[in-house]
Chain A
Amino acid sequence: MPFLQEQDAAFVRTRLAQDLRDDVTLEFFAPATGGLVLPGEDGQTAEYARQILAEVAALSPKIRLNVHSTIAEPDAAKAFGIARTPGTAVIGARDFGVRFYGMPAGYEFATLLELIITASQGTTAIAPQTREMLAQLQRDIHLQVFVTPT
Chain B
Amino acid sequence: MSKNNSEYLISRKDNQYEVVIGLEVHAQVLSESKLFSTSATKFGAEPNTQVSLVDAAFPGMLPVINEFCVKQAIKTGIGLNAKINKRSVFDRKNYFYADLPQGYQISQFKDPIVGEGKVILDMPDGQKEIGIERLHLEQDAGKSIHDLDPQNTFVDLNRSGVALMEIVSKPDLRSPNEVSVYIKKLRSIMRYLGTCDGNMQEGSLRADVNVSVRAKGSKELGTRCEIKNVNSIKFMQMAIEYEANRQVDLIEEGKLIDQETRLFDTKKNETRSMRSKEDAHDYRYFPDPDLLPLEVSDKFIADLKNNIPELPDDKKKRFINEFKLSPYEATILVSDIDIAKYFEEVVVKMGKNKDMKLAVNWITGELFAVLNNKNLEISQSPVSAKNLAILVNLIKNGTISGKIAKTVFELMLEGDKDPQKIVEEKGLKQQSDPKALEALIDKIINDNREKAIEYKQGKEKLFGFFVGQAMKASGGKANPQLINEILKKKL
Real complex partners, A and B? no
* Chain B residues with a Cβ under 8 A of chain A: none
